[in-house]
Every structure is written in C-alpha cells, then in structure tokens.
A and B are shown apart, each in its own frame.
Chain A
Amino acid sequence: MSAERRLSPATLVAVAMKRLVAHPEARVQTRGQMSQGIWHRERSQVRVTQARGKYWPVVGHQIEGQTYLYPEEALFLLEIQQLQVLDAEVPMSVQKAFTVMLTHERAVLRYRVYSHLTRLGYKLIRHQPRPSSQPRKRGPTTSPVVGPEAIHAPIKRSKSHALDAPSRLVVPVAETRLLPAGAWPARTRYDVVFQPRPPDGQAEPQSAEPWDLSQISSWSEWKKNRSRMGPINLPSVQEIRVDCETSGRGFYPLDFWSSSVSPAEEKISITRSVADDTSSARSLASGALRTLWMGPVKPMIPARSVHSTRHILELIRIPNRKCNIRDETLIDDRLEAFKIDFDIFLPNVSFKKSRPGLPNFRVIVTSSDESVPKSQSLQSLKESLADSVPLLMGVVGPGNISFFALQDTSLPRIISVG
C-alpha cells in the first residue's frame, strides 16, 4: 500500500485549467472557489471563516453572530470540494473529517442519508419541531333537540353556579313547531336530568334546587336567556340525560346548556324511549308498518327523514375517533430511536432559512438491521406533528439506501344500493 499521491504543481495547474483529467478519485479545486472553515472541537461544528459558492441559502446557522456548519453539512461540502476545514491551520483530509465529525453509529447513518438526498438536489435541514399548534377548534354545535317550553321547578342561583344534585327539568311541548329541527316525532314533554358529579370525598351528591326556567316560554327565549342564567360548572356535571325522541344524532355537546364552552368532551346521552300519545305517533301506530312501531324496540331512523343510503350511513356513523387503546405491546421501548432526523424540501421549492415553512417530507433514519417501528410509536409520533407531511423511513443498508413511506390510508366506502 502506498500513500496517496501528492500531485505535482505542474499537474495541479494542468488539472485546474482542465487540460488534464486527473484520476477520478483525486480532488483538485481552485482555492478561490472553496469556502473556509475551522473545526470547533467543543461544539463539534465548523466555524465558517469564508463563505463562497451557492450552498449557503440552505446550510449554515448562526451562533453568537458567527456562521457555523453542522457536521453533516461540513462533511458533504468537503467531499464535493466546496469547503476546506482547517484544524490548526492544516486542511482536513476526508478520512480525518469522517473520523472526527461522525462520532457514533447513528451519525454515520444520518450522514449517508443526508449525502444521498442532497446529491439528488433536495434541501435538507435538521428536523425542526413545529410550535405547538392551537387546540383544534370544535366542530359546529349541532342544533339540540330539546328546548324548555315551560318550567316547573324553581332554580337556585348559587355563587359558584354549580349544581349539586340532580335537577329535573320537565318540559311540556305544546306545539311541534317550537321544537328545533331534527326532533321527530314530537313528544309532549322532555325530561332533562342534570346529573352532577359528587364533590371530592363524598360518595353521594348532595341535594339542591334545580334550575329555574319559569320565565322561559319558548326555545328562542331560552337561547336569549341562558347567559343570564349563568353557566353550569361543567366539570362538576357528570352527565346530562335528556329523555326524548329524536331522528337526528344522539350526542349533543355540553355547551348547549352553558354559554361558556368547556374543553371537556362529555356528551349528553340521549336515551330513546317510547313515544307519547301524539298525533304522529298515532299515525305510525295505525299505519301499514305499525308492527315496527309497537313494542319496546323501534327503528332508530324513520324512513321519511333520510333520502339516501349514504345519508343513513352518515347518521349512524360511529364518531370518528382514533383508537386510544394503550396496548403495551404496540409501544416501542426505544421510542428514542424513532426521532425524526431531517426535514426535506424539494429542489424546486423556494426555501428560506429564516422561515422554512412546512417541509415536503420528513425522514427518520434507521439501519437495515433494526426493526420496523411499532404502530403505536408511529401513531403518537404522527399525532405530535399534527400535519399531513409524509413521513419516510430512510433505511440504510451496506450497499444502498431505501426510502419507505408509512402512511395512513383510508378504505373507500362502497355503496352499491341506494
């Protein structure tokens, strides 16, 4: 084995002037086209002393007013002869730079992915977590089914506006037009039960007076006046049960009952019960399909309130919530290992270091002999990101690097009838 040849000055001049083609492995570059930097041992970064060339819109960052390069950026620029890294005024060789800048196995994998993608033209920066996004706005509140028409019991307005005992609102319904949309068939009355949470340390809730709704005679008045009545202290309310009959969805948000919106997501449960003796109920009971409407078990959705199969499926859809089961077998012990390494921007995307914007891809670097991430880890990682940027796994093998996308997919709903 002989040491690497030092090219003679005449050869260097000839190569620089392109009159001679050097060996493919020889790196010869004119000084004026190279940037200069100094290896900073404590920071494990390169402090830039002279910036030349076209890479600076992407690489480099400021520390205390000076430009620094991360090891992967510096090593790449060194490999493509755009940078000289000096250590005690002596430029580093590629071997020395590899040894000094890649100090653990993961750094080598990361560098290989960085080099691979940058050579293809992508712009890579170290992953920047998004600032914590605003909590998702709640969807529009659906029109509630019930509204008080008349009130029976007086209300006690306590200072804390808390309800300490179940309050029963019995609301007689005189005319169906006073009902909000979606309530069918009409009932003569609705029972609204507020079931408060027992105060800490007590098993049974204490008794107290229910709300006074004597002044409210119609649904619109209820809406106008509910702010005057004060908000329910929602954390103290465990459940609000509304007995009624409805053709719409069975769940209504608690903010219907209060002017202050609570972040809690308790829902009012609607219990379906037998229809009272209203005219509609009578017509059903005597019509052609009367057997359906007799007895304790009835159709959930009356036929005249829907117009297509898709509508029916919408109405009976289970709320679309992601599975929150914390199955221990689905969680990686080494959640550390699945950190996102780089944000990737397409070559033709305008990129500003000060405000990079949302990347086109994100990549997690891993080795080909490591295991595939468990689904729960990926899920929690994606949820913490809360955007739709595709997540890639860059799998580094001895000979090549492959990229896999682990994406959510939704199965289409096929409706073949109606």
Chain B
Amino acid sequence: MEQHVHLPPPDPGAAVKIQMFFGQGLIWNLEDAIEVRTKHRILGSFIGCLPKAPRQVQRFGLPLLLSSEELFVLLKEKVAVLLEYQDLSLKPNPDQAAEFMKYLEDSFQGQIKASHEDKIQNIKENLSTILDGKRKKALSSGKAIADIREESVFQDEISKLKPLPEDHMAVQTFIEEIWQGRSKIVPDWNFPTTSMERLRSQAFYLLWQEGFHLTDGDKFGGDFLVYNGSPQDHHARFIVVCLSKQPEDLSPNEVAAKYRLGTTVKKTVLLAFFSPNEPNQVLFQSVESSNSNLK
C-alpha cells in the first residue's frame, strides 16, 4: 500500500478555517472547533481562558490549538484549510471603525431601551408590594389611604427611573475577529520535512484512520496517547513512541525503560518506526512482558 506523504492541494471550499500560527494551527470559531473534535476525531487542545471560570487551569476555552500532526490529518482529509490573515495586524480603516462605532451606539441605545423596559416590568411585578408599603407609611403619617392610587403610584415610580449610564453598558469582547480581511491560503505548508516529522505524522495518520482518538504524549514521555474512545470517557490504551532507529537496535536498558513506562500506568507501549525494507512505510511493535514460566 503506497502511503502518501505529501498533502493534497488546499481546498478553499473546505468548511473549517484554521489560522496558521508558528507551525501549529488555531481555531477561533466555536462551531468549527466542535466539528473538528466530534465529527473528525481531532482533539487539539484549548489554550485560552474560559470566560466563565478564568481562575483555574483545569478547563480552558478558545482558541483550539492543533499540532502539526493534527493539521496534517485535517488537510489530508480536505476538511480544513490553513490560512494566514494578512490584515489582522493592521489598524481598522475608517470605514470599519465607523461601522463598529455604529454597532456600539446601536447596542448602547438598545440596552438603554431594554433596561428601561426591564425596570418597568420589574415595577409592574412588584406594584402590590410597593402599594402596601406606601399605604403603611400613609397610615403612620396620617395621610389618607384613598389618595394612594395604583395608577399614580405606577407613573410616579416610572418617572423616577434614570436611563442606563454609559458605565453600565454591557460590552461583548469578541473572540473571533470580525474583519478577517484578506486571508491568504497558506500554500505548500512545509511539513513534514525531517525524517522524524514524517514518521510522527504518518504514525498519527495511520492510527487515526483505524478509528482511535489521539492526543499528545508529553505526560507519559511518549509521542502520542491512543484512546479507544473520547479521552473524557476512556483511559489511554497505548503510548506511542516514535523511534528513529529500528527496535532491535535498542539496548536492553532502553527496552526495559520503555516497558516499565507502560506497565506502571497500565498502558501498552507502541514503538513506531520506518520499515527497513520499504521506504515511508510505518510499522508498529508493542512492548509487552511475557508471562513465561522461567522460574
């Protein structure tokens, strides 16, 4: 089976747009991120602050960071396109600035109106309580209760309402830039170039094609972690270690180290390497102990 190492030409019609970021990819759109993770089994990692809970490091928010191997798969499958946004670092031009100012002004006016209506609604709901309070006060101060009429109290309260001050305006900080301007498709993204990069991307792609979920293997000293299902519901099954040499060239110490790496955490270590006979073909070999009866 011939394995294609090179990427197909980019497809501008592909749904998912990924921003090229120093050899890795960033997804800023929430729907794209969800699609990539659920439909295409490419997990990436969120690296931004979650607005609802910024003071913790367990859960993160957008952007979604994609590693080179993950980008490789998405481009091969023609699911995504890599883009460089040339205009993103420019100042907004006067038209864009004017448009945004109009949006802000409209939003502010809309908020004044909405908060006004909100407060009126609030008074309506609590009118009986307000009336009770006013009647009690009238009783204690000797005024006539009959003077306190619902309609006049209502109008009275409404007239006291002040418009929403500017400081109370709610502002939305956008995650994604609205003016992405001219975006250039990154032609010929130069990956993979080195032999280790080719090995890693091929190994990743093959395992992905088998239906596994894959993440980075930093935590366990390997290249990738392989899961039978979503990492949220499963423990990793394999730790993939990409070797630049053949497994038989590993010293016994190295083999023992790799074996122990797996057994202590109840995972199997998969060694990935290029076949000595066929170029570009990736082979896998697991390291397991044999329950031999040599005692």
Contacts and interface: CB of A to CB of B under 8 A. Distances in A.
Interface in A363-377: 368
Interface residues of B, number: 68
Interface in B170-193: 170-178
B12 to A, nearest CB: 13
B159 to A, nearest CB: 21
A89 B92 CA distance: 9
Interface stretch (B52-60, B250-258, B282-290): B52-60
Contacts of B108: 9
A119 interface: yes
A90 B51 CA distance: 21
Contacts of B62: 25, 94
A8 interface: yes
B30 interface: yes
B63 interface: yes
A397 B216 contact: yes
Contacts of B114: 9-10, 12-14
B172 A6 contact: yes
Nearest to B21: A108
Contacts of A295: none
Nearest to A12: B170
A1 B13 CA distance: 11
A24 B61 contact: yes
Interface string B1-45: 000000000000001110101111010111110000000000001
A412 B139 CA distance: 87
Contacts of B149: none
A94 B174 contact: yes
Contacts of B22: 104-105, 108
B103 A6 contact: yes
A31 B166 contact: yes
Given A28-B172, A398-B45, A398-B65, A9 B107 contact: yes
Contacts of A399: 45, 215-216, 218-219
A417 interface: no
Nearest to A112: B47
A365 to B, nearest CB: 14
Contacts of B16: 1
A418 interface: no
Chain B interface, >50% SS class:
mixed
A120 interface: yes
A93 interface: yes
Contacts, number: 191
B61 A4 contact: no
Interface stretch (A61-69, A77-85, A143-151, A273-281): A77-85
B170 A29 contact: yes
Given A27-B175, A94-B175, A120 B57 contact: yes
Contact of A95 (B92, B118, B170, B176): B176
Contacts of B51: 24-27, 79-81
Interface in A73-126: 76, 78-81, 84, 87-91, 93-96, 98-100, 104-105, 108, 112, 115-116, 119-121
A368 to B, nearest CB: 5
Given A10-B110, A17-B118, A98 B63 contact: yes
A1 B83 CA distance: 15
A170 interface: no
A15 B175 contact: no
Contacts of B47: 112
A215 to B, nearest CB: 72
Given A2-B31, A95-B28, A100 B170 contact: no
Which of A105, A395, A400 gathers the greatest number of chain B CB atoms within 10 Å?
A: A400
Nearest to B32: A1
A335 interface: no
B212 interface: no
A257 B218 CA distance: 61
Nearest to B168: A30
B168 A368 contact: no
B145 interface: no
Interface stretch (B94-102, B130-138, B273-281): B94-102
B167 A95 contact: no
Nearest to B117: A10
B13 to A, nearest CB: 12
A104 B118 CA distance: 48
A96 B177 contact: yes
Nearest to B167: A32
Contacts of B100: 89-90
B56 A119 contact: yes
Closest 4 CB pairs of A and B: A9-B110, A32-B167, A397-B218, A16-B170
Given A90-B100, A94-B173, A398-B24, 4 more contacts: A7-B172, A13-B170, A26-B172, A121-B55
28 contacts: A1-B17, A4-B29, A4-B178, A6-B172, A9-B106, A10-B114, A12-B107, A15-B170, A25-B61, A27-B51, A30-B168, A34-B171, A80-B54, A84-B173, A93-B174, A94-B173, A94-B175, A94-B176, A95-B28, A95-B63, A96-B177, A99-B19, A116-B57, A119-B54, A397-B216, A398-B24, A398-B67, A402-B219
